C-alpha cells in the first residue's frame, strides 16, 4: 500500500489513496522545537517525527511512501531502506490545503484563530534559524579573517613608521641598516641603548655577521641625540606592542589557512589560502564565486578599470586581484593575459567543486594542469610581439573645412561643421543682405587713393543696398527725387571737378567760395557787409563776434526796432505785467499766494 507523507507546521501526517488521514505525528507545543524539525526537513534530513511515523506505517503494512521533497525521499530510502516516490506538485497542494481541518481533527488546536497564532510563532522561529544558518557559514568567517589580516598589516605599518621616527632621534643610522620591521622592533625592545649594540648581542638576536659589524660601528659613531631612560622605556614599550601585533598576524595567517583547507581545499590548492580567501571575500561567499564565469573571476577586483574601458573605449584590464598569484606576478608582461585566463578557468572549476562537489578534491590535478599550460606559454611566447601599426583615421565624408571659421553656403544652408545657432536674417522692404555676408560687418572707410565707386560695400542706383553691404548701414536719399547722387556725380559749386585730388588727405573738407571764385575766400579777404574794413583790429579779441545790422545801419537793430513780419505793433506787449509764479519751498506761503490770486481775480 501507498502512503502520502505531508509535512505541516504542527507535525507530520500520512494519507491513504483516498486522501483520508491514516496516522499523524504531532510536534510538541513549543515553537522553537517545531521550527528546528521543519528546518531539518527543508534541508533534506529526517526529523524524529518523520522517522517514527514511517516506522509505524511499515508495521501496519504500508510499503511505498510518497514525499513532496525529493531530497527527503532519497534520505529516507537510504536510511530506512523503504520504497519511496516523489509526488507531483498538484497532489501535494491538495493535501496541504486541508491543513486547518487536519489540525482541528488531530486535536492540536481547537479553532482557526489558535492555528494562525501557532503558525506565526513557528514562522518567526524558523526565520531566526535561517538567518543564523546563513551568517554562520564558514566562508563568511573566512572573509572576516582575511579582512582582519589586511587591517593588521596597515596597523603594523603605521606603528612601525612612528617607531622608526621616534627611535631615529636617538639612533638614526639603524633605520637604513635594518630594513625588516620585525627585526628592528626586536632590537629596540631587547637592546635599547646604543651601548648594548655589541657584536655578541647582535649575533644572539640572529643578525648576520657582516651586518653586525656595520651596526656596531654605526652605534659607536652615531650622530643621534641623547635621551633619558624614561623616554627610552616608552619607545621600548611601543616596540613590544608592535611585536605583539606581528604575533597576532602570524596566528591569524595560520587560522585563515586552516579554515580554507576545511572549507575550500580546491581553491586553496589552485590560488593559495590568502588569495582564495580574498576572492571569496570580494565575491561575497563561496557559492557566489562558484556561480561566476571564468572571465568575471579573471577581472575580479578591477571593476573600476573594466567599467572605464566600457565607457570610454579604452583597453580593458587583463587581470584583477588574481594578479597576486605567484605564477602571474612573476610572468613577463606580454604573457600575463594568457596566464591569467588559465588560472581563472581552473579557479572557477575549483570553486564549483568546493561549493557543489560535496568534498570532491581535485586541487592537485588542477594545479598540475596550470603548471603545464604556463610552461607551454613561456616556451611559445618567449619574445614580445611586434608593435601594432596605428590604423589610419578615416576621413569623414561631407565634412568641408574652412580656413576662417564657419559660415553659410551660398544656398543659405548651414555648412557641415558650421555653427549650429547662426541665424540668417534678411532685410525687409527690398534691402536684402547678401547671402553669406557677415551679420554685423562694419562698413569699411575709404582708404587713401581709393575710389568711392570701387569700395566693397555701396548702394545701388535704385536705392537698394548692394550685395555684401553691412546690415545696419543707413540708406539716405535726397529730398527731391528719392535718388541721392553721390558726391562724385554732383557738380561742384565752384565749377571744379568732383574727383578728389591724388594724394589729398582723406577727411579734408573741400570748401567753395560763396562769391563764385575758384578758391574759398577767408573772412579777412571778403568785404564786410557794413562797408568797413575786413581786418581785425590790433589787440581785438580773437573770438569777438562782429555784428552788422540787417537794415544797413552802423549798429545792429534790435527786435523792437525792426518791423514785424505780420505787420503788427511791438508796443502791444511792452507794458504787459509779468506773471509771477507761486513761491517755492514753503507750503504756507504757497497757500497765501493762491488765496491772494483768488481775491484779485
Residue-wise pLDDT for 183-221, tens only, equals 999 999 999 899 999 999 999 998 998 899 999 999 999
Query: What pLDDT is stored for residue 60 in this prediction?
Result: 83
Query: What pLDDT is stored for residue 54 in this prediction?
Result: 87
**How is residue 420 written as a grid cell?**
549650429
Helices 181-190 and 229-263: crossing angle, nearest 10°? 140
For residues 356 and 287, what is the distance between their CA atoms, to the nearest angstrom? 8
- Are the beta carbons of 159 and 238 closer than 8 angstroms? yes
Helix (H) or strand (E) holding 7: strand 2-8
Phi, psi of 347 (to 5 degrees): -70, -35
Helix/strand/coil for 580: coil
DSSP for residue 590: H
Query: What pLDDT is stored for residue 526 in this prediction?
Result: 57
- Are the beta carbons of 115 and 103 closer than 8 angstroms? yes
DSSP for residue 466: P
Query: What pLDDT is stored for residue 450 in this prediction?
Result: 45
Q: How many helices (H) and strands (E) does the chain have?
A: 21, 5
DSSP for residue 6: E
For residues 52 and 70, what is the distance between their CA atoms, to the nearest angstrom? 19
- Are the beta carbons of 160 and 181 closer than 8 angstroms? yes
- Are the beta carbons of 21 and 3 closer than 8 angstroms? no
Domain ranges of the chain: 2-135, 140-252, 264-380
At the second CATH level, the architecture of 2-135 is 2-Layer Sandwich (3.30)
Query: What pLDDT is stored for residue 458 in this prediction?
Result: 45
Phi, psi of 586 (to 5 degrees): -85, 125
Sheet of 64-67, strand order: 21-26, 11-15, 2-8, 64-67, 83-86
For residues 424 and 508, what is the distance between their CA atoms, to the nearest angstrom? 39
Residue 51 CA to its chain's centroid (Å): 61
pLDDT tens figures, 304-340: 888 888 888 888 888 899 999 989 888 888 999 999 9
Helix (H) or strand (E) holding 2: strand 2-8
Helix/strand/coil for 370: helix
Closest C-alpha to 183, from 169, 165, 153, 204: 204
> Which residues of the chain carry a pLDDT beneath 50?
399, 402-412, 418, 421-422, 424-432, 446-463, 473, 476-487, 498, 501, 508, 511-519, 521-522, 548-554, 572-573
For residues 326 and 221, what is the distance between their CA atoms, to the nearest angstrom? 43
Please measure the distance between the N-terminal and C-terminal CA atoms of the chain and give it in whole angstroms: 138
Query: What pLDDT is stored for residue 563 in this prediction?
Result: 61
**Distances, alpha carbon 158 to alpha carbons 218, 224, 327, in Å:** 26, 23, 30
Q: Which residues contact 386 (CB under 8 A, 6 or more apart)?
A: none
**How is residue 79 written as a grid cell?**
536510511
DSSP-derived secondary structure for 210-225? HHHHHHHHHHHT--PP
Query: What pLDDT is stored for residue 157 in this prediction?
Result: 94
At the second CATH level, the architecture of 264-380 is Orthogonal Bundle (1.10)
At the second CATH level, the architecture of 140-252 is Orthogonal Bundle (1.10)
pLDDT tens figures, 47-64: 888 888 888 888 888 888
- Are the beta carbons of 474 and 465 closer than 8 angstroms? no
Q: Per DSSP, which regions of 9-100 are E strands?
A: 11-15, 21-26, 64-67, 83-86
pLDDT tens figures, 128-137: 888 877 665 7
DSSP-derived secondary structure for 525-540? TSPPTTS--SSPPTT-
How many degrees, rounded to 5, is the angle at CA 336 between CA 333 and CA 340? 165
pLDDT tens figures, 463-504: 455 555 555 545 544 444 444 444 455 555 555 554 554 555
Amino acid at each position: 500500500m501507498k502512503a502520502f507523507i505531508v509535512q505541516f507546521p504542527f507535525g507530520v501526517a500520512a494519507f491513504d489513496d483516498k486522501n483520508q488521514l491514516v496516522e499523524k505525528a504531532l510536534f510538541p507545543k513549543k515553537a522553537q522545537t517545531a521550527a528546528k524539525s521543519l528546518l531539518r526537513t527543508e534541508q533534506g534530513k529526517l526529523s524524529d517525527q518523520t522517522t517514527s511515523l514511517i516506522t509505524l506505517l511499515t508495521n501496519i503494512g504500508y510499503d511505498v511512501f510518497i514525499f513532496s521533497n525529493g531530497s527527503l525521499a532519497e534520505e529516507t530510502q537510504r536510511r530506512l531502506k523503504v520504497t519511496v516516490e516523489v509526488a507531483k506538485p498538484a497532489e501535494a497542494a491538495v493535501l496541504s490545503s486541508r491543513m486547518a481541518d487536519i489540525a482541528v481533527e488531530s486535536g492540536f488546536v481547537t479553532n482557526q484563530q489558535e492555528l494562525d497564532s501557532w503558525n506565526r510563532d513557528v514562522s518567526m522561529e524558523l526565520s531566526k534559524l535561517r538567518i543564523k544558518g546563513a551568517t554562520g557559514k564558514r566562508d563568511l568567517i573566512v572573509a572576516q579573517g582575511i579582512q582582519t589580516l589586511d587591517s593588521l598589516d596597515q596597523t603594523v605599518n603605521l606603528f612601525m613608521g612612528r617607531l622608526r621616527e621616534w627611535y631615529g632621534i636617538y639612533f638614526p643610522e639603524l633605520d637604513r641598516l635594518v630594513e625588516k620591521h620585525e627585526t628592528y622592533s626586536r632590537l629596540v625592545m631587547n637592546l635599547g641603548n646604543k651601548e648594548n649594540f655589541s657584536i655578541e648581542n647582535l649575533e644572539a638576536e640572529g643578525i648576520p655577521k657582516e651586518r653586525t659589524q656595520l651596526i656596531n660601528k654605526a652605534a659607536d659613531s652615531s650622530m643621534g641625540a641623547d635621551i633619558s631612560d624614561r623616554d627610552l622605556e616608552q619607545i621600548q614599550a611601543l616596540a613590544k606592542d608592535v611585536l605583539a601585533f606581528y604575533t597576532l598576524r602570524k596566528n591569524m595567517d595560520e587560522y585563515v589557512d586552516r579554515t580554507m583547507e576545511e572549507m575550500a581545499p580546491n581553491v586553496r590548492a589552485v590560488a593559495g589560502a590568502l588569495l582564495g580567501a580574498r576572492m571569496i571575500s570580494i565575491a561575497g561567499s563561496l557559492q557566489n564565486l562558484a556561480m561566476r564565469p571564468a572571465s568575471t573571476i579573471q577581472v575580479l577586483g578591477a571593476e573600476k578599470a573594466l567599467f572605464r574601458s566600457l565607457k570610454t573605449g579604452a583597453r580593458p584590464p587583463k587581470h584583477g586581484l588574481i594578479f597576486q598569484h605567484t605564477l602571474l606576478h612573476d610572468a613577463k608582461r606580454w604573457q600575463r593575459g594568457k596566464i591569467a585566463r588559465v588560472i581563472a578557468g581552473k579557479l572557477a572549476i575549483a570553486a564549483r567543486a568546493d561549493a557543489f562537489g560535496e568534498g570532491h578534491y581535485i586541487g592537485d590535478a588542477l594545479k598540475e594542469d596550470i603548471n603545464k599550460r604556463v610552461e607551454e606559454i613561456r616556451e611559445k611566447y618567449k619574445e614580445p610581439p611586434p608593435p601594432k601599426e596605428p590604423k589610419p583615421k578615416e576621413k569623414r565624408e561631407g565634412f568641408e573645412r574652412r580656413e576662417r571659421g564657419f559660415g553659410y553656403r551660398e544656398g543659405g544652408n548651414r555648412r557641415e561643421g558650421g555653427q549650429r545657432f547662426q541665424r540668417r536674417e534678411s532685410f525687409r522692404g527690398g534691402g536684402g543682405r547678401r547671402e553669406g555676408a557677415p551679420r554685423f560687418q562694419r562698413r569699411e572707410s575709404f582708404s587713401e587713393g581709393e575710389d568711392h565707386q570701387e569700395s566693397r560695400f555701396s548702394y545701388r542706383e535704385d536705392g537698394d543696398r548692394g550685395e555684401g553691404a553691412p546690415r545696419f548701414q543707413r540708406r539716405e536719399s535726397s529730398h527731391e527725387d528719392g535718388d541721392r547722387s553721390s558726391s562724385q556725380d554732383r557738380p561742384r559749386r565752384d565749377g571744379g571737378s568732383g574727383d578728389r585730388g591724388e594724394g589729398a588727405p582723406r577727411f579734408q573738407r573741400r570748401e567753395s567760395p560763396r562769391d563764385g571764385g575758384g578758391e574759398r575766400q577767408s573772412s579777412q579777404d571778403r568785404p564786410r557787409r557794413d562797408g568797413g574794413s575786413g581786418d581785425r583790429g590790433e589787440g581785438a579779441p580773437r573770438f569777438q563776434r562782429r555784428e552788422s545790422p540787417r537794415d544797413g545801419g552802423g549798429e545792429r537793430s534790435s527786435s523792437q526796432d525792426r518791423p514785424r513780419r505780420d505787420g503788427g505793433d511791438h508796443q502791444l506787449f511792452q507794458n504787459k505785467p509779468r506773471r509771477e509764479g507761486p513761491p517755492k519751498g514753503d507750503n504756507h506761503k504757497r497757500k497765501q499766494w493762491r488765496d491772494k490770486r483768488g481775491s484779485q481775480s
